[in-house]
Amino acid sequence: MNKNILVLPGDGIGQEVTASATKVLEFLIEKYSLDFSVTSMDVGGTAYDQYGSPLPEEVLSSAKEADAILFGAVGGPKWDNLDWDVRPENALLTLRKELNLFANLRPAFLFNELSEASPLKKEIIENLDILIVRELTGGIYFGEPRGIVEDKEPNYAFNTMIYNEEEIRRIAKVAFESAQKRNGKLCSVEKANVLEVSKFWRSIVTEMSSDYPDVELSHQLADNTAMQLVLNPKQFDVIVASNLFGDILSDIAATLTGSIGMLPSASLDSSFKGMFEPCHGSAPDIAGKNLANPLAMISSLSMALRYSLNQEKISDKIDEAIKKFIQVGHRTIDISTDDNYLMTSDVAEKIIKIINND
């Protein structure tokens, strides 16, 4: 059956890393005779510059039609002073919301060969394998009312942190089920010592735990989790958190593994259609220099094949190829300990070669 894949490179290194992933995808389509069609469109600041909108109508409608979306990254200093309505980041949030991509899976695992690249000691991070399940379409990032009031003395600004019961249940379900498929441990993270919304979150997750007797549930306060992630990250298996806390904690978790340039993510709706993006951003400081590590994007392609495109075996092939790539000593600048590193555009070629030689 024909599947539609939409590629949205976006801004900065988003362009370079999606070019690499697309190269791998095109090779896989050819090699395994996959019935996929691939379309690419502008989004973010790049779309704003051309069309005056970071998410033109046709992009949103193509995204709704797509079976899977490969998303690079958006944003950059050039667009930092725009109103929220037309900011590149708004395109990403609107896509998540409009497509109902409430479940964001952010795996953080260490390739032991890269332990030198981690800021933490080897014994703390060796064999690290965590999954952060972040709620992605609710909470303070979307809560209404929100705004900046500039005609009062003093002026003020406000946002609303809000979750309804259903939103908490559906993300907790994904987290409990993920824990069942992994090591059976789930840590729910919030600030129940301060926030009503967190107290409510904790009570619902606790109530649900009786349906998952095989999962060991714990609760942690978000500030403590930030500390625990650098003190003793291997205590975690699956972490579930709201949009805001999940955003912050997933950056910490990613860094533990040596480079945020290694880690993919999947944002899924209830039927497992989804958008797949690296955890890193647009990295304006290295954009256009052919220095970015495209492995997070290539690994996101693997997640797309696994979750949305029904191609688990091919997904395994990509994962194995990335593993081998690291094992044989290939490095990009972010994970290299010397001056010997590959450029972005060399990586896809090596990955393709590894898959071909298998």
* Contacts with Mg ion, residue ranges (CB under 5 A): 247
CA 85, 283, 343, 279 torsion-angle sign = negative
When the beta carbons of 254 and 342 are compared against Mg ion, the nearer one is 254
Torsion of CA 252, 256, 259, 262, to 10 degrees: -90
C-beta of 26: minimal distance to ligand IPM in Å? 26
Q: Which entry of 11, 237, 247, 334 is annotated as an active-site residue?
A: 247
C-beta of 324: minimal distance to ligand IPM in Å? 28
Q: Which among ligand IPM, Mg ion, none contacts residue 92 (Cβ within 5 to 8 A by kind)?
A: ligand IPM
Residues 331, 156: Cα–Cα separation, whole Å: 48
Q: Which entry of 141, 163, 212, 307 is annotated as an active-site residue?
A: 141
Query: Annotated catalytic, 289?
Result: no
When the beta carbons of 190 and 247 are compared against Mg ion, the nearer one is 247
Q: Which among ligand IPM, Mg ion, none contacts residue 89 (Cβ within 5 to 8 A by kind)?
A: ligand IPM
Residues 226, 252: Cα–Cα separation, whole Å: 7
C-beta of 290: minimal distance to ligand IPM in Å? 23
C-beta of 189: minimal distance to Mg ion in Å? 15
Spatial CA neighbour of 343 closest among 265, 277, 288, 299: 288
Lookup: tokens for 310:
């029904």
Query: Annotated catalytic, 358?
Result: no
CA 161 to the chain's CA centroid: 22
When the beta carbons of 28 and 130 are compared against ligand IPM, the nearer one is 130
What Cα–Cα distance (Å) separates residue 278 from each residue in 215, 259, 298? 28, 12, 9
When the beta carbons of 237 and 247 are compared against Mg ion, the nearer one is 247
When the beta carbons of 249 and 342 are compared against ligand IPM, the nearer one is 249
Q: Which residue is nearest to Mg ion (CB)?
A: 247
When the beta carbons of 249 and 355 are compared against ligand IPM, the nearer one is 249
Tell me whether strands 129-135 and 238-241 are parallel, antiparallel or unpaired. parallel
Query: Annotated catalytic, 247?
Result: yes
**Which one-letter amino acid corresponds to residue 220?**
Q
Query: Annotated catalytic, 223?
Result: yes
Give me the residues that bind ligand IPM (CB under 6 A), please: 75, 89, 92, 247, 281
Alpha helix (H) ranges present in 101-142?
Answer: 122-125
C-beta of 136: minimal distance to Mg ion in Å? 11
Query: Annotated catalytic, 141?
Result: yes
Q: Which among ligand IPM, Mg ion, none contacts residue 274 (Cβ within 5 to 8 A by kind)?
A: none
Q: Which entry of 251, 269, 319, 346 is annotated as an active-site residue?
A: 251
Alpha helix (H) ranges present in the chain?
Answer: 13-31, 45-51, 57-65, 88-98, 122-125, 165-181, 196-208, 222-231, 243-256, 295-307, 312-327, 344-357
CA angle 82, 84, 87 (to 5 degrees): 60
Q: Which residue is nearest to ligand IPM (CB)?
A: 89
Number of Cβ within a 10 Å radius of residue 298: 28
Tell me whether strands 103-109 and 129-135 are parallel, antiparallel or unpaired. antiparallel
Q: Which entry of 49, 80, 223, 285 is annotated as an active-site residue?
A: 223
C-beta of 338: minimal distance to ligand IPM in Å? 31
Active site residues: 141, 191, 223, 247, 251
